[in-house]
Amino acid sequence: MKRSTTIRPNCFAIPTGIVRSFVVLFFLTLSSGAFAQLKEKIDSLHTAFVQAEADSAKCDILTQIAEEYRFINSDSSIAYVNKAKEIAQTLQSDYMDVDIAILNAIVLYEKGDYDNSIRLLKEIDPLATKLGDKGYLLKMYQTYGNSYGLSNDHRQAIEYELKALDYAKELKDSMAMANLYINIGSDFHYIKEYAKGIEYCGNARQIYEKLGQDFYQGFALNNMSNYSNHLNDYQKALDYATEATQYWNEDNNERLMGYLYHNFGEAYKGLKNYSQSEKYYQKSIAIRQKNEDPKDRIITSNELAELYIAWNKLPNAYVIAEANYHLAKEKDFTREEQQSAELLATIHEKQGNLTQAVKYLKISQQLKDSLQSQEQAKEVLRLETKYETAEKENLILQQRAKITDHQLALKNRSLWIFGLTALAVIIGLIGFLLYKQQVLKNIKQQKDNELKLALEKIETQNKLQEQRLSISRDLHDNIGAHLTFIISSIDTLKQFMANRDQKLSDRLGNMSSFAKETIRELRDTIWAMNRPCISIADLKLRTANFIESANKATTHTTLSFADKVENDKDLLFNSKTGMNIYRILQEAVNNALKHAEATRISISFARQGDMLQMQVEDNGKGFDTLEMYDGNGLQNMRNRAEALGGTLHITSEKGHTRVIFRFPLQEMSDKQNDTAT
């Protein structure tokens, strides 16, 4: 019952840091001097953070602090990673995002949260691959390997570690190469490829030797000793362990020596040198006891119990196995509890205490079922009957045959299920591909139809625009020219009749003014027709021109214009809507000019949320809004406002009249295309 004493170094740790899992992966306790140096470095980084001004510098310092805290407090490390994330979100730097995500994944796997570490790596993997930075890719694949390895998916771990090894070679990062060789060897040992494990650890050892990393040479030799024990090459295991003592001793690496002593004990046990084996197992157990490593202590103690069984010192074996069984049960170490129960069953069997043997064998089997998720009830029944009368031996053989037949039947049934499942998957895949092809065909046809409709709509709009332009040209060239001729003729008659008939001259003047007003109206209409859409900016420009003309035409009234609308080019209306808005504004100004006897008229545009507000104010004589009869002008303004889905409010008192027109921008935008069409 060999148990692993493999040590797996953390690829990102400083020389004093080591990861711990069931197969002796742990963090070494920092010495007081090293801790003080680390604390001093963290304090200096805090000072640098306070003094930093740029967010990029702050983010970089926070990641450095998180790196340092990895070796003393993983929760603090994660907290600083999260702070760095918050700042990185404002920087929008892909490189910073990748760096922080990989560091976060490293801290998570060191904390034992392997699933979230892998999840985080998968989220950042596409971006890291896109950036192509070899340093980031090396760290990412190393972290993948560690997370998968520590979660017992060793084949997946090897796949990622080999990718990381390629990048380490390209970057000529010798230390990373050596650590990866160690980890790949560790994963090969877990899948029982012990010879490959020795080969990779040997490669690591050669690099550590060139780098002068004596401490890490001890790692490689310890693991090679362990793998040799698994291959039953006990003399080689003893040689590797002996060589490792050149680099490790109890003064500087007491905790690690516990693993090395374990390998010594295993090798001497294989060589039948039981006294030496007992000596080294006891040394290993003493170190585990001192450093409060209950799981590792149980593992080595059970090996010592096995030694005593082989040495025929059953009472000694019983004391150890029973103590380990109760301690493992108390600590909820299921695997060690099962192994201890199995040892107790063997001891009781050899002592002839068959009842107790069956009891512990039953417990061992139940625990093994929970670990391996396999039903072994019939096997337990077979073992229960093993120690009964000789007359039942035939029944045992029959039971064994039934188990074999049942397992074969299960295997055949599994093959049938697998075959049928594979066939169903293939048929489903073919069906899915056909369905996907039809969906893509339908989508293409739908897009073609949409494109056709869009082209037809554009063609229709172009034709409408051509018609508008044609009508506007006719209005300008024909009606406009005629009106201009009429005005010229009236002005000539007015000059001719000026001194003869004043009444007729005044009437001719009114006719001339009316014709000029008609031309202005006509020009406004042509202006609107020549545009497929009108923006707020166009309206403001037209209003400004109108105000400029009005200021020139009046001597006693000053008109002003205030614009409070931003991004006015983004607010578009169709020509009809734009013309209605302009007419409301024009009518309100004309009413003030004609009737208010005002000295000041102000026009303003303002946006209030999703509403546009136009306001006309004057300081004229005012009127009674309740008694005032709505003439055609006011009624037209109200009708236009309702047509636009807006509201028209008029308030008036002596010295102040205000006309406010408000309408929803969203509604205008929604109606724009429909009205234009």
* 63-67, 115-119, 197-201, 530-534: least confident range: 530-534
Nearest to 263 by CA among 294, 207, 218: 218
Using DSSP's 3-state secondary structure scheme, residue 491 falls into helix
pLDDT tops 90 at residue 171: yes
Q: How far apart are CA 256 and CA 288, in angstroms?
A: 10
Residues in CB range of 598: below 8 A, 6 or more apart: 557, 592, 618, 619, 620, 621, 657
Q: Quick one: pLDDT at residue 222?
A: 93
What tens digit of pLDDT does each residue of 360-394 get? 999 999 988 887 753 343 333 333 433 443 454 45
Provide the percentage of residues in the chain whose pLDDT is more than 90.
29
Q: Quick one: pLDDT at residue 228?
A: 95
User: What residue spans of 530-631 are helical by DSSP H?
Assistant: 536-553, 575-595
Q: Which pTM does this prediction carry?
A: 0.51
Q: Quick one: pLDDT at residue 242?
A: 94
Q: Which residue has the higher pLDDT, 377 or 193?
A: 193
Domain range summary for the chain, segments of one domain joined by +: 533-664
Q: How far apart are CA 495 and CA 116, in angstroms?
A: 96
* 88-92, 277-281, 550-554: least confident range: 550-554
Burial readout 518-543 (b: 16 or more C-beta within 10 A, e: otherwise): ebeebebbbbbbebeebbbbbbbebb
Assigned superfamily of 533-664: Histidine kinase-like ATPase, C-terminal domain (3.30.565.10)
Q: Quick one: pLDDT at residue 521?
A: 65
- Tell me the average pLDDT across 663-677: 54
Residues in CB range of 67: below 8 A, 6 or more apart: 77, 103
Q: Quick one: pLDDT at residue 211?
A: 93
Q: Quick one: pLDDT at residue 47?
A: 87
Nearest to 202 by CA among 586, 621, 219, 362: 219
Q: Quick one: pLDDT at residue 512?
A: 64
